Amino acid sequence: MDYSPKSFLIRFRASANSFLSEYEPLALLLAPLLAFLVARTLQSFLGVVHERGLKATFVAFLMSLLKLVPGVKNYIDAEKQKVVDKLQSGGKSKRDGWRTELPRAGLGVEVIEKMKDEKRNDVVWQGKCSGTVYIGGSESEGHFSLINEACSMFAHTNPLHLDVFPSIVRFEAEVVAMTAALLGSKEKGSGGQICGNMTSGGTESILLAMKSSRDYMKTKKGITKPEMIIPESAHSAYDKAAQYFNIKLWRVPINKEFRADVKAIKRHINRNTILIVGSAPGFPHGIIDPIQELGELATSFGICLHVDLCLGGFVLPFARKLGYPIPPFDFSVKGVTSISVDVHKYGLAPKGTSVVLYRNHDIRKHQFVAVTEWSGGLYVSPTIAGSRPGGLIAGAWAALLSLGEEGYLESTKRIMEVSKRIQKGIKEIPELFIIGRPDMTIVAFGSDVVDIFEINDVMSSKGWHLNALQRPNSIHICVTLQHEPIVEDFLRDLMESVKTVKENPGPISGGLAPIYGAAGRMPDRGMVQELLVNYMDSTC
């Protein structure tokens, strides 16, 4: 028998044709197509399981099937609406009487009195809010009054018009430079090219850093299906960036110390990874991630590392000078490619001022949008907004120059001492425990004895506005200068609230504890997401 390759192919062809002759031509045509569709469906399913986990995928699939049952979808929608109405807490009734069109005749200066009347309806926020207002004192005096005057003086300006308002252009450049100097730009290892821009807040700063990193890594490594990896504790602005800029997002669990788990992040890095994230500190628990280890990881894989310093940027540099044990967190760490820092928080500037910084101009250039084919002329813009409020930039500049290094050292000393006093007070309440070891001015606490969300509701009834957290269920207070005069009031009310809940467990009338608790236990996170979207859709 001839065993040559040619003879083997002839015999194989004859055998295959003989076998296939038993099937109809249409079946032979459709079989590969069907196999391809099955393979693609299986690939998509495995991809979803890999991204969301088997349990979450199964629950979502089960809920989709249940909604196909007649009447079930209507019932679920009705129950969701009940929750939305509960979350609104009478919000719709408050909208009764709101204007829906222009007045026939303008009010002129009388509108100021109208505004004063409306302002009286705002809650008492002085010292009662977690974060929110970071400047100490009242609005009519001191630093408050100073930045209000600065904003008013430049309220008409817009840095988009470089040639008309050079003062605002200078103010922005100097705010960026002064902020960068606090965060390592003067250090030898920074490279000497730190640059950036002012933005409307921490979310925009993070969005711009993600967009710039995506495009930079596309140019540098040709990545067209970008992915980023963030700790579970990282801010929700990264989820927004992932949706806006089509970046696949991986949230990985934090470690037992409530810090970013470097090993877990490393396991998720692949050829499409453009960026990893660390926070200093993280919003939920006020704990600094291991930035130096993350920098080493980013350097070894040749990817970007963004550090969220929105809360810590105007505290940590001064806390370190005051002798607090602050680990490395800024551009002095090799591997850090971008930083977001809010001036309107502990920078004590007006609301709507933040800074995004980059290690060099090569990265920042990907932040800009330039248009050459517009009939309106040539256009280039550095941030998401085109026109920007120059008054806010002026207010930020005024804040930095009016306080100076000594002013920030003093404010940092005060809020750090208040934070330590609150931590000590919470530890003296046996039913409560502090989450991790706070590095700065955020103190998160939970309980194994009473429902922490019920405590939050009782505190709300006493006028306090704290932040409810999950994983684990807890609440936190973000300490500001507003808390300095009333820290003992807070601890007294907290102790009384714990006593009330312990003696009378169960949700209070009008409280949101049942909703928070149910959301935490609900396995279908898609349904929780729908609830939040429906709530937002009905309130704005």
Bigger pLDDT: 57 vs 167? 167
- Determine contact, residues 436/258, Cβ cutoff 8 Å: yes
What digits encode the pLDDT tens for the residues 152-191? 999 999 998 889 999 999 999 999 999 999 999 998 888 8
**Sign of the C-alpha dihedral computed for residues 34, 39, 40 and 45 taken in this order:** positive
The two tokens of residue 7 are 């003879």
pLDDT value of position 523: 57
Residues 27-45 have a mean pLDDT of: 74
- The CATH number for 152-403, chosen from 3.30.1600.10, 3.20.20.70, 3.40.640.10, 3.40.50.300, is 3.40.640.10
Helix axes 390-427, 487-503, angle to 10 degrees: 60
Give strand ranges (E) for 232-313.
Answer: 248-252, 273-279, 304-308
Give the predicted TM-score (pTM) of the model.
0.85
Q: In what order do the strands lie in the sheet with 442-446?
A: 433-434, 442-446, 474-478, 467-469
- CA 488 to the chain's CA centroid: 31
Give CA–CA dist 484/497, Å, rounded: 21
pLDDT tier, 69 (very low <50, low <70, confident <90, very high otherwise): low
Q: Are 450 and 432 in contact (CB under 8 A)?
A: no
Residue whose structure tokens are 């236990």: 521
Task: Give the fold, CATH level 3, of 404-539.
Answer: Aspartate Aminotransferase, domain 1 (3.90.1150)
CB neighbour list of residue 97: distance below 8 Å, 6 or more residues apart: none
For residue 357, is it left (φ>0), alpha (ψ between -120 and 50) or beta? beta
The structure tokens 């204007």 sit at: 99
Instruction: Please determine, for residue 210, whether its predicted confidence score (pLDDT) is greater than 90.
Output: yes
What's the pLDDT score for residue 518?
56
pLDDT of residue 141: 87
Q: Identify whether the C-beta of residue 298 lies closer than 8 Å to the C-beta of residue 337.
A: yes
Measure the CA dihedral 518/130/250/206, to 10°: 140
Give the model's pLDDT for residue 507: 76
Per the CB < 8 A criterion, the answer to whether 508 and 461 are in contact is: yes
Question: Any idea which of 24-28, 112-116, 392-396, 485-489 has the lowest mean pLDDT?
Answer: 24-28
- Peptide bond before residue 5 is cis, with ω within 30 degrees of 0: no
Residue 78, pLDDT > 80, answer no
Maximum mean pLDDT: which of 77-91, 444-458, 495-509, 513-527: 444-458
Strands (E), 173-303: 195-199, 227-231, 248-252, 273-279
Q: Which token pair is 417?
A: 């001492």
For residues 435-441, average pLDDT: 96
pLDDT at 68 exceeding the cut of 80:
no
Q: Is the pLDDT of residue 76 over 70?
A: no
DSSP 333: S
Residue 6 has pLDDT above 60, yes or no: yes
Q: Which residues are 279's β-sheet partners?
A: 308
Is 526 a residue whose pLDDT tops 90? no
User: Which residues, listed in sequence order, are joined to residue 306 by a DSSP beta bridge?
Assistant: 277, 338
- Lowest average pLDDT, out of 16-25, 311-320, 497-506, goes to 16-25
Please give the residue that has the higher pLDDT: either 33 or 254. Answer: 254
Q: What are phi and psi of 328, to 5 degrees?
A: -55, 140
Band of pLDDT at residue 442, cut at 50, 70 and 90: very high
Domains of the chain, residue spans? 24-88, 152-403, 404-539
User: Minimal CA–CA distance to 313: which of 295, 304, 326?
Assistant: 326
- The strand pair at 195-199 and 227-231 is best described as unpaired
- Contact present, 349 and 317 (Cβ < 8 Å): no
Structure confidence at residue 506 (pLDDT): 80
For residues 45 and 469, the model is more confident at 469
**What is the spatial distance between Cα 527 and Cα 529, in angstroms, rounded to a whole number?**
5
Query: Do you find a cis peptide bond into 226, omega within 30 degrees of 0?
Result: no
* pLDDT > 60? residue 522: no
Selection from 404, 392, 398 nearest residue 350 by Cα: 392
Same fold, 152-403 and 404-539: no
Evaluate the CA torsion angle 469, 472, 475, 476 in order and state its sign: negative
- Mean pLDDT score, 334-359: 97
Average pLDDT over residues 355-383: 93
Q: What's the CA gap between 170 and 344, in Å, rounded? A: 19
CB 182 within 8 A of CB 317: yes
Region 118-136: mean pLDDT is 89
- Interval 216-240: pLDDT, tens: 999 999 999 999 999 999 999 999 9
